[in-house]
Amino acid sequence: TAPLDAAALRADFSILGQRVNGERLVYLDSGATSQKPQAVIDAEVDFLTRANSAVHRGAHTLAAEATELFEDARATVAGFVGARPEQLVWTSGATAGLNLVAYAIGNASLGRGAPASARFALQPGDEIVITETEHHANLIPWQELAARTGAVLRHIPVNDDGTLDTDAAATLVGERTRIVAFTHVSNVLGIVNPVAELVALAHDVGAVTVLDACQSAPHLPLDLPALGVDLAVFSGHKMLGPYGVGGLYGRADVLEALPPFLTGGSMITTVTLDEAAYLPPPQRFEAGTQPVSQAIGLAAAVRYLDGVGMGAVHGHEKALEARMGEGLRSIPGVRLLGDAPGAERVGLWAFDVDGVHAHDVGQFLDARGVAVRVGHHCAQPLHRRFGLTASVRASSSLYNTADDVDVFLDALSGVRAFFGAGA
Ligand code: PMP
């Protein structure tokens, strides 16, 4: 693949051209949310100015056009992750997608759904396996599901170097395991997890796999069917798209057998006062008025990513990550989280600065125009595992340059002296 010209791409992101606190903005917080290229903003504005209408209902011209644009968007975003349109459910984001899955499995456990739904039914003592590295969005829905069904939540531990303890995984995943839910890339460690290995363990015992692809979808080529996962989620706003939209991917037979979570309009065939029959996927999981302009915006985002080429994006961000990792290692008092030698990574590093609170580091960098995230990044158990309550996280996207990394490293190298914590 041709290398990516980040400096040229930045012209599509006018927000990056501004100054913050008198300094050039260096945006290293794309792990929280990415900036949006003009094409995405234009796609939403164009739809709202020209074709806005509710979809899948109404015989009028605008409704037909909106429906076509909306379903085209589904095909585009599904294609981006290697899926067919009917395998992509629109959600409001990854959190909504994970809750959808957990509640749908909960409903199956109550005997709801088609006969095939019984395959998801959890009995007391059944096990749900997650990892110690999960974002709270891929943790708390499972805690709640376990509490509702009597299932037991277990976790694959993380090694000191940030890799998953796959030996422990092999013994944890057993005949009581019904669900294995894990992140493709941790939003704190940045390491690409061994998806195929975990999927093989899960499928050996007939467990359903759920992948959190939030931090991989924007940064590397993603083929969900090839990864073999049963279900996967991602968030539009992290992959150059709008807020309020995301995707739930499912294997056709899995979605087919899953009962709905939210119910109401747009997801039914026939309704009486006593009962309702449901549409097949994906509509079964899309109760209510759809996020039409957001879906169209997300389609524009993945077209933009595809235009650049995800191989090129990954290569570019790997180079930034390597430069950043090397620089961070050379600053005294900086401890990287998840610095596993040779690990496959995305452009994201979280770290601790000895003697300086993460929030002070964040403010110090902000004063120099550098935007990073501080706190627990919705991963408290993982921080506890590393003896921390907070860390600093710098995360890249395709629009970051080597100069961004250098400005960040240069600023950071002065932080300990500034706070009297050593050179
Ligand atoms: N999982 C991971 C790994 C994430 O990084 C995030 C967002 N920080 C989420 C899930 C939740 O995404 P959202 O808030 O868009 O639903």
Q: What is the pLDDT of residues 54-113, one digit of tens each?
A: 998 778 999 999 999 999 999 999 999 999 999 999 999 999 999 999 999 999 999 999
DSSP sequence for 285-341: G--SS--HHHHHHHHHHHHHHHHH-HHHHHHHHHHHHHHHHHHHHTSTTEEEES--T
Q: Report the pLDDT value the prediction gives residue 41, as an integer from 0 to 100.
A: 98
Q: What is the atom index within ligand 1 of the atom nearest the CA of 185?
A: 3
Structure letter (DSSP) for residue 345: B
- Is 378 annotated in the active site? yes
CB atoms within 10 A of CB 171: 10
Instruction: Tell which residue, 285, 370, 303, 291, has the closest CA to residue 86.
Output: 285
ipTM: 0.99
Q: Residue whose CA is closest, atom 8 of ligand 1?
A: 32
d(CA 193, CA 312): 20
- Ligand 1 mutation target, pool 90, 135, 222, most atoms within 8 A of CB: 135
Question: Which of 136, 215, 235 has most ligand 1 atoms within 8 Å of CB, for mutation?
Answer: 235
- For a ligand 1 pocket test, name from 95, 99, 185, 234 the mutation site with the most ligand atoms within 8 angstroms of its C-beta: 95
How many C-alpha atoms does 323 have within 13 Å on its Cβ side?
Answer: 19
CA of 150 to the centre of ligand 1 (A): 26
Q: Which long-range contacts (CB under 8 A, 24 or more apart) does 5-14 make?
A: 6/316, 6/398, 6/399, 6/400, 6/401, 7/401, 9/37, 9/308, 9/398, 9/399, 10/399, 10/401, 12/37, 12/38, 12/39, 12/304, 12/399, 13/37, 13/38, 13/399, 14/38
Residue 98 three-state SS: helix
Residue 246 contacts residue 91 (beta carbons within 8 Å): yes
Residue nearest to atom 5 of ligand 1 (CA): 187
Give Cα separations from 245 to 95, 278, 292, 414 (angstroms): 11, 23, 9, 39
Q: Which residues contact 165 (CB under 8 A, 6 or more apart)?
A: 156, 157, 158, 159
- Angle between the 292-308 and 38-50 helix axes, to the nearest 10 degrees? 150
Nearest to 163 by CA among 198, 212, 210: 198
Q: Which residues of 180-208 are buried (b: 16+ CB within 10 A; e: fewer)?
A: bbbbbbbbbbbbbbbbeebbebbbeeebb
Choose the catalytic residue: 20, 371, 378, 421: 378
What is residue 59's predicted lDDT score, i.e. its pLDDT?
85
Cβ atoms 321, 396 nearer than 8 A: yes
Closest atom of ligand 1 to 32 CA is 8
Which residues lie across from 20 on neighbouring strands?
23
- 193 C-beta closer than 6 A to ligand 1: no
Residue at token pair 């093989």? 200
Cβ(107) – ligand 1 distance below 6 Å: no
Whether 95 lines ligand 1, by a CB cut-off of 6 Å, is yes
- Is 183 touching ligand 1 by the criterion CB < 6 Å? yes
Question: Is any atom of ligand 1 closer than 6 Å to the C-beta of 212?
Answer: yes
Q: Indicate which residue's Cα is closest to atom 12 of ligand 1.
A: 94
CB 325 within 8 A of CB 339: yes
What residues in the chain have per-residue pLDDT under 50? none
- Is 347 in contact with 322 (CB distance < 8 Å)? no
Report CA(29)–ligand 1 centroid distance (Å). 13
* Alpha helices in 205-309, H assignment, sequence order: 224-227, 252-257, 292-308
Beta bridge partners of 233: 212, 248
Pairwise CA distance, residues 229 & 392, whole Å: 31
Q: Which atom of ligand 1 is nearest to the CA of 235?
A: 15
The tokens for 381 are: 């158990």
| Cα 400 to averaged position of ligand 1 atoms, centre (Å) | 21
